[in-house]
Amino acid sequence: MAFRGLFIGIDRYLSSEINELSCARRDAVAFDALFTDTLGGVSRLVVDEEATRIRLEREFEDLANCDPGDTVVIGFSGHGSDTHELVTYDTQLYDLANTTLPLALIEEWFSRIPARRLIFFLDCCFSGGIGAKVLHVEARPRDLRSIETRLDQLAGDGRIIFTASSANEPAYEHSRFGHGFFTYYLLEGLRGVPEVIDSGKLPIYRLLDYVTGR
């Protein structure tokens, strides 16, 4: 059994049409440091201009080579789109199909990862107003499935998806925290605040209660 990590944070974007963020890179760096310091193993940190569509596809392909007994943790902090894609560094509004990561594609990639324990932290949103971590897209596909359905497909036995917001809620970051709000409180919980720890262990349900209560 081994730990495998992939932590992605994108503040800067190739396209000037996509608003830059200020804390997504720090989110990824913090997750990478926390998990590698605690669990060792192999972790990949992919930030800003490194986080192209092609690079991320290769990273997911590499995770497909892990063993069933491994624990895989994936974190993404950056923009989501209101058409349910994750926005990469080289996303172009005129070619979303080939320059973003649709949740349907991530669902397919997840199915190829044999690890029985897989956790996905998703600090972005798929709707929201000014200041939210979302890319608004004018053209929408007619057969778009709901975000809840997509996320349900990603989850399953031994697989947990933590999201910063529901389908109709925004996700924000704040310079005072230096992180997205979701990541900030998730990191606090993972570091073992008293409200979460139970007999020296960190139960998932307590972590969820702690983060959602903030």
Q: Which residues contact 210 (CB under 8 A, 6 or more apart)?
A: 185, 188, 189, 193, 195, 196
Reported as a single tens digit per residue, the pLDDT across 182-199 is: 777 777 777 776 776 765
pTM of the model: 0.79
Average pLDDT over residues 121-144: 55
Q: Give the span between the Cα atoms of 72 and 83, in whole angstroms.
A: 27
Q: Give the CATH number, domain containing residue 129.
A: 3.40.50.1460
Reported as a single tens digit per residue, the pLDDT across 153-192 is: 555 567 787 777 655 555 666 666 667 777 777 777 777 7
199 lies in which domain range? 3-212
Q: Give the span between the Cα atoms of 137 and 73, in whole angstroms.
A: 29
Q: Which residues contact 152 (CB under 8 A, 6 or more apart)?
A: none
The token pair at 13 is 């974007």
Residue from 48, 63, 52 nearest 4 by CA: 63
CB 134 within 8 A of CB 82: yes
Domain count, the chain: 1
CB 38 within 8 A of CB 75: no
Q: What is the DSSP string of 98-118?
A: HHEEEHHHHHHHHHT---SEE
